[in-house]
Structure 1
Amino acid sequence: MNLEQISTFLTVYQSGSYKKAAELLYLPQPTVSHRINQLEKELGKSLLIRGKGKVRLTEEGKAFLPYARRILGTLKEGQEAVERVGEGLKGKLSIGCNNSFAAYILPDVMESFSKDYPHVSIKVYTYASSELVRLMKNQHFQLGITRYTSNDSNLTYRPVLSEKAMLFVSPEHRFAKRKSVTLEEILQEPILTYPKETQYRNMIDVTLNQFNLTYQAKLETNNLQLIKHFLKRNAGVFLSGSAYMLQEINDKELVQLEIEDNPFPLSQVFVTYRENELHSLDYLFIKHFEDRINWKPQTSAALAAFHKTGAS
């Protein structure tokens, strides 16, 4: 396995065909096919499916994709780091994310980044996750931070965090002294949740529908601060990843509990960008963001668990 094979694999996937990849790489199409064949031979699995329309990933290809991106991304980061030696970093950076991320996770990342690179100015735009993808396509900002991906071949999604859904309750709640609760017990409680049009709420509803389980939402809002307000007053329970709730957990204002036989898919955070337009400053922020968000004990443990299960 070598970098040429990995780069060719990503180009075929992003362009959607071997022919377009050959044009982009200025290579004969047989050379592109040979590189993919050699990569698949070394991995012992097929990665791409050729057929009518765009080339598609096999399940093994989907598993390999984020690691291939990470390998090339790390290499480019190293190249950029060498170029930056002895230079004072200056520039402008524009970032798009949702309101909750901007309120509860991004401030810590931006504060530490600004201390290390005081001459870099940052603009932050907040939109719904679905709108972020559209604006990224239109080059409204350089980097997007989102919990969801799209099938747009022009955008690259780099996973920076993965965590399981937890239950959050007030310290006065009847579950607060326990370590875990069942899904059936949770659904008997007043549920605080996001509105139905949000993707996170849709993930919860789709999962519960698979088990023929229903619930009655007591409060629906896309304002996480409002949800936290009622949580602290023991007005209901809330399903979420830990990243948005770290401050309240550390201050003992809320309690998090494991969900027994947890059926919910892992909640992920991605940095999205346009591969061909990524510059040294973008790479630097992504790396800083990745290191910072995984530095916290709760989030780093979740990420480590994800990689462990994903590798098995």
Structure 2
Amino acid sequence: MKLQYMEELLALEQYENYTLASQQLFISQSTLSRHINIMEKELGTMLINRNTHSVEFTEDGKDACKTFRKILNLYNNYSATLQEKSAGITGTLRLGMLYYTIYQDFGKVLPLFEENYPQIEIKQYSYQPHEIYWALINDKIDIGVLAKANYETSDNLNFKDISRNNAVAMMSTTHRLASCKTVKLDDLHHELIVLLNEDTCTSIAVQEAFARCDFTPEKIIYTDHINTVPFTILKTNGIHINGSGFSLPGYEDKITILPIEEPELYFTKSFVYKRDNTNSAIPLFLNTILE
């Protein structure tokens, strides 16, 4: 139901006359009557007693006015609070983004945050996961996106979980498992597993996920980071395991990505920030996630 209709009903209660109420509302009497009819149909009850020449509210109509008054007061108070909040808070919020999942991680929350707090300047930086970690540690960004794991200084980091992604296996389309719809961990024990060398954060998260499933690859090869994964896969016929949610653009016809049937092999993605960071925009951003 529209708040406008609630306000119109309360105006009719106040002036006890369709002509006066419609004049104060700057609408026609017919429009006011039509809106009240819409409310009555939506609520399934009569609000106005139409058997009299004067405006007489039914008992349900009186109750509706009391309820609508409370709703409008709550809405107006909340709206005023938001306006005061957005008008009174300024500053800068520095965000570290994984370039290959920017829309997934920030596509909804960032526009909403910018709408609520237009005076807070947003600075966006695109990084690899390990670069986000060090940017946080060195106070170059306020919030970053990382896989949740026990990093070297995790005791000084707060993790706000945003998604849980099941594991996938990336392999060449010519690999013996490529024709399968899904794979199991047992299928991967004897395969060459591609891990990341420079991206230590993803490596830690992957190793922790492996340990949770008691999975130990027999053969391992290292590549630098996610950008070099396709080359290594195609060159070695290895398999890279990571969380679902991103693709390898330009390699769709050469590399296939298959779900792994193991419920405990997953990766939790989080917004991460330092506990001693006093930037007042951080809690505002995190609260926006809940809206």
Q: Does 1:184 align with 2:213?
A: no
Q: Which amino acid aligns with 2:220?
A: A
Separation in structure 2 between the aligned mates of residue 79 and residue 283 of structure 1, nearest angstrom: 19
Q: Which amino acid aligns with 2:203?
A: R
| Residue 261 (structure 2) aligns with | 260
Confirm or deny: 8 A CA contact 1:182 1:259 kept in the other structure.
Answer: yes
| Residue 104 (structure 1) aligns with | 100
Matches within 5 A, 1:121-160: 121-124=122-125, 126=127, 129=130, 136=136, 139-149=139-149, 155-160=157-162
Q: Which runs of 5 or more structure 2 residues have no equivalent in the other structure?
A: 1-77
Q: Which amino acid aligns with 2:229?
A: I
Closer/same/farther in 2, CA of residues 154 and 239 from structure 1, 3 Å limit: closer
Separation in structure 2 between the aligned mates of residue 154 and residue 205 of structure 1, nearest angstrom: 21
Confirm or deny: 8 A CA contact 2:188 2:217 kept in the other structure.
Answer: no
Separation in structure 1 between the aligned mates of residue 200 and residue 211 of structure 2, nearest angstrom: 16
Q: State the Cα distance separating 1:164 from its structure 2 match.
A: 1.8
Separation in structure 2 between the aligned mates of residue 137 and residue 196 of structure 1, nearest angstrom: 17
| Residue 94 (structure 1) aligns with | 94
Separation in structure 2 between the aligned mates of residue 203 and residue 237 of structure 1, nearest angstrom: 17
Matches within 5 A, 1:211-290: 211=214, 213-218=216-221, 220-231=222-233, 235-245=237-247, 251=252, 254-261=255-262, 263-264=264-265, 266-274=266-274, 277-280=278-281, 282=282, 286=286
Q: State the Cα distance separating 1:201 from its structure 2 match.
A: 3.2
1:80-106 Cα deviation digits (max 9, x unpaired): 981368859975331235xxx2x3112
| Residue 194 (structure 1) aligns with | 196
Kindly name which structure, 1 or 2, has the bigger radius of gyration based on alpha carbons.
2
Separation in structure 2 between the aligned mates of residue 290 and residue 229 of structure 1, nearest angstrom: 39
Confirm or deny: 8 A CA contact 1:172 1:234 kept in the other structure.
Answer: no
Separation in structure 2 between the aligned mates of residue 145 and residue 80 of structure 1, nearest angstrom: 32
Closer/same/farther in 2, CA of residues 122 and 243 from structure 1, 3 Å limit: same
More helix by share: 1
Closer/same/farther in 2, CA of residues 196 and 255 from structure 1, 3 Å limit: same
Q: State the Cα distance separating 1:109 from its structure 2 match.
A: 5.6
1:239-266 Cα deviation digits (max 9, x unpaired): 11112327579x56532223234553x2
Separation in structure 1 between the aligned mates of residue 244 and residue 256 of structure 2, nearest angstrom: 11
Q: Which amino acid aligns with 1:193?
A: L
Q: State the Cα distance separating 1:274 from its structure 2 match.
A: 4.7
TM-score by length of structure 1 reads: 0.48
Confirm or deny: 8 A CA contact 2:184 2:260 kept in the other structure.
Answer: yes
| Residue 43 (structure 2) aligns with | none
Q: Does 1:163 align with 2:165?
A: yes
Q: Secondary structure of 1:105's match?
A: helix
Confirm or deny: 8 A CA contact 1:147 1:269 kept in the other structure.
Answer: yes
Q: Which runs of 5 or more structure 1 residues have no equivalent in the other structure?
A: 1-77, 292-312
Q: CA RMSD in A?
A: 4.6
Q: Secondary structure of 2:246's match?
A: helix
